[in-house]
Amino acid sequence: MATKGKGSKVNKTWLYDHLNDPYVKLAQKEGYRARAVYKLKEIDEEHRLLNKAQVVVDLGCAPGAWCQYLSRKLNLGHGMEASPTAPVVVGVDLLPMEPVPGIHFIQGDFEDAAVLAQLEQAIGGRAVDAVVSDMAPNLSGHSATDGARIENLIEMAVDFAQNHLKPDGVMVAKVFHGPGYDNLVALFRDTFKHSKPYKPKASRSRSSEVFLIGQGLRR
């Protein structure tokens, strides 16, 4: 009974915080699907990562808040996508996603060869300006296991970035403090000319999440 009561208290606390969260309210007001959009928005505005982006890949895009931001940022969904030089955003996720104006969505695992082929076809052979990743694996609650899963997932995303980004391209990836975190920081440092961890204001203070930012590939 004590465990049930504790869990109920935690759930009520989360619900209270969620309903009173200013970013939740702002997302509802501005028509975004999730408060997570303000994490990418702050990162973009603080570091000016997407000002010149024309080709963007969003890994782990469902439910679509980041895609919504990218759609608005690149002014997609207005009948201009037919041009081979027009901006393009491709979102990939294992989960389904409701359509977002101008976004090419692929449901599947980006590590799968068939899904990767679809992605490459969607960007039309063009080099990518930015890879953004809000991916997270299904967590088991076991710190070492979850750390290994997160590390593997981000390593795959970085490998994709290395093979598809422009030399001056950028990458943003969500990671978590804990086992494997230092390895991922080192991976970004070795992969990009400039890299840093960043925790946006929209990321809850009690959350262990942090975003790694990489700019300019080392060749």
Residue-level pLDDT at 136: 86
Q: Which of 21-25, 81-85, 176-180 is predicted with the least confidence, judged by mean pLDDT? A: 81-85
* 66 annotated to a ligand binding site: yes
Q: Are 87 and 55 in contact (CB under 8 A)?
A: yes
* 168 annotated to a ligand binding site: no
* 182 annotated to a ligand binding site: no
Residue-level pLDDT at 1: 39
Question: Which has the higher per-residue pLDDT, 144 or 131?
Answer: 131
Q: What is the mean pLDDT of residues 43-66?
A: 97
- Looking at every residue in the chain, the average pLDDT score rounds to 90
Q: Which of 83-87, 171-175, 179-183, 213-217 is predicted with the least confidence, judged by mean pLDDT? A: 83-87
> What are the CA-CA distances from residue 215 to residues 60, 118, 131, 161, 176 (Å)?
20, 26, 11, 11, 20
C-alpha to C-alpha distance for 95 and 74, rounded to whole angstroms: 24
Residue-level pLDDT at 13: 54
pLDDT(2) > 60: no
* Per-residue pLDDT tens digits for 60-80: 999 999 999 999 999 997 655
Q: What is the mean pLDDT of residues 198-215?
A: 94
Residue-level pLDDT at 80: 53
Burial of 129 (0-12, 13-18, 19+ CB in 10 A): buried
- Say how far residue 36 (Cα) sits from the centre of its chain: 9
> What are the CA-CA distances from residue 85 to residues 31, 94, 102, 127 (Å)?
28, 28, 14, 11
* Per-residue pLDDT tens digits for 148-161: 989 999 999 999 99
Residue-level pLDDT at 110: 85
* 134 annotated to a ligand binding site: yes
Position 147 confidence tier, pLDDT thresholds 50, 70, 90: confident
Report the helix count and the strand count for the chain, using DSSP H and E: 7, 7
Determine phi and psi for 15, rounding to 5 degrees: -65, -40
* 109 annotated to a ligand binding site: yes
> What are the CA-CA distances from residue 131 to residues 72, 101, 159 (Å)?
17, 19, 11
Q: What is the mean pLDDT of residues 34-40?
A: 97
Q: What is the mean pLDDT of residues 96-122?
A: 95
Contacts of 31 (CB under 8 A, 6+ apart): 68
- Catalytic residue ranges: 174
Chain length of the chain: 219
Position 137 confidence tier, pLDDT thresholds 50, 70, 90: confident
Residue-level pLDDT at 4: 46
pLDDT-above-90 percentage for the chain:
76
Residue-level pLDDT at 45: 96
